[in-house]
Amino acid sequence: MPHRIVLSLTAAIALALSLIVIPAGAQSDPWAEVDPSNQTLVFWHNHTRNRQDALQAIVQTFNESNPYGITVTQETQGSYADIFRKMLGLLGTPEVPDLVVAYQNQAATYQLRDALVDMTSLLHSPKWGLSAEEQADFFPAFFRQDIFPLFDNARLGLAPNRSMEVLYYNRDWLAELGYDEPPRTPETFKAVACKAAQTPFSKAGGSTMGYQLSLDASRLASWTFAFGGDIFDYETRLYSYDSDGAQQAMAFLQGLYTEGCARPVGERGGALVDFSTGRLLFTSASSSGLPFFKAAVDAGAKFDWSVAPLPHTTPTPVMNVYGASVSMPKSTPERELATWLFIRYFTSPEVQAGWGQAANYFPVRQSAAQLLDDYFQHHSAYKTAFDLLQYGRHEPPVPGYDFARAMAEEAMAAIFAQGREVEKTLTKLNRDANVSLREQMEFLPSTE
């Protein structure tokens, strides 16, 4: 009887293995015989000043050290919007760059014309790709962000750096109000913000504010994440701006406005001015602003400050990570492989550690932390934020997200400035955003 069972199991396993369908491309490496030697590549980016100098140093080292004679030329092409407009006019032509910085929604728009390389096969190439261990070294939220569900989960980019939404707070003022740590729950946050609105900081005079919130779509997403929701449903592939989490978050913030504990940001840079002069206890902004906050506080009220996650209803923080990735327009196999080799170098831990310090971004590889001990010691707020990267989540990588963002900002203005009903406003936002998404997807070329 036991032998019979063993034979049955063996036969069953053999049968099961015979029925497994190996995905196309997994049986062999389509890049194994491609020769990337002596390719000259063009990299379009938006970096200027110190960041451009740091990037030029990275490019120069790659050009001098790679064994294939690959030469990369980096070119500043203006803002993200400038690059996006230029790219739309060049897609499918010989003038398109080999590598380009692109936010996920921009890459998705390019792919409506089938213009980008799906990096999946390069990433998994036995000869040229990254090992499973190397792939796992990327912060998960960063790594997933460039996989596009609307394009059959194609990988249309890879992150060379990221920023994150954080809560900036005045630690000295918080202590004066009787708290020894930033609030972790919305209820405590409200109590502290309202108290600050009535209790001026000792180093500042005049009117005070508990919290300032800019009308920005990333703020809406960040607060929605903090309340356990999302603005996009990856199963239905539709926006979910009317989710329970979004409604709870916006109702909470509307309550802060109504009770005088929060105010909108009056003008660009206004929150930084109010924070640095000691008139504002809390504000939320990108971690890439850390050097600017430090300089402003040092020149202003000179108080102790730091960063923290937004107060949340979830068991652990949920951090909104964002930033442009690098995407690869289609060209020839030789140029595409050469471009991939530069991307692989750019995202290596050693290069990432140096780039993160020079550009005030976060490196995308977790092991880069081992090379940042000195930097962490001298930049405690950066270290605090870095430790929160494990909780990252991202905004949707879909075409036309710029249109949805504009709609979201209008909805926030209606809720906070005009006192409109949260549920009705978010229902309309969700409906309009999904209509816009469907219109964008109509540009996708039909395929068999």
From the CA atom positions of the chain, what is the Rg in Å?
24
| Spatial separation of the C-alpha atoms in residues 153 and 120, rounded to whole Å | 9
Helix/strand/coil (H, E, C) string of 106-147?
Answer: HHHHHHCCCCECCCHHHHCCCCCCCCHHHHHHECHHHHHCCE
Cβ(212)–Cβ(280) below 8 Å: yes
Closest CA to 417 of 250, 291, 201: 250
Cβ(321)–Cβ(161) below 8 Å: no
| Spatial separation of the C-alpha atoms in residues 436 and 438, rounded to whole Å | 5
| Residue ranges with strand state E in 300-417 | 305-308, 319-322, 325-327, 392-393
107: region left, alpha or beta (phi > 0 left; psi from -120 to 50 alpha): alpha
pLDDT digits (tens, 9 = 90+) for 29-61: 999 999 999 999 999 999 999 999 999 999 999
pLDDT digits (tens, 9 = 90+) for 335-358: 999 999 999 999 999 999 999 999
pLDDT score recorded for residue 74: 97
Closest CA to 246 of 271, 229, 269, 266: 229
Report if pTM > 0.85.
yes
pLDDT score recorded for residue 445: 67
pLDDT score recorded for residue 27: 53
Q: Is the pLDDT of residue 232 over 70?
A: yes
pLDDT score recorded for residue 437: 97
Confidence bin at 222 (pLDDT 50/70/90): very high
* Span between the terminal Cα atoms of the chain, in Å: 52
Quick one: tokens of 440?
A: 């964008």
Cβ(247)–Cβ(411) below 8 Å: no
Lowest-confidence region among 114-118, 267-271, 276-280, 387-391: 267-271
Q: Is the pLDDT of residue 2 over 70?
A: no
pLDDT score recorded for residue 207: 86
Lowest-confidence region among 2-6, 158-162, 180-184, 238-242: 2-6
Segment 12-35 mean pLDDT? 57
| Spatial separation of the C-alpha atoms in residues 421 and 19, rounded to whole Å | 55
Closest CA to 67 of 94, 39, 90: 39
pLDDT score recorded for residue 446: 56
DSSP-assigned beta bridge partners for residue 165: 286
Confidence bin at 443 (pLDDT 50/70/90): confident
Residue 155: how many CB atoms within 10 A of its CB? 23
Quick one: tokens of 262?
A: 């929060």
pLDDT score recorded for residue 21: 37
Closest CA to 103 of 362, 394, 410, 446: 394
Quick one: tokens of 288?
A: 């890439």
Instruction: Please count the CA atoms within 13 angstroms of the CA of 365 that sit on its side-chain side.
Output: 23
- Sorted by where each starts, the structural domains of the chain and their CATH numbers stand as 40-162+323-382 (3.40.190.10), 165-321+395-441 (3.40.190.10)
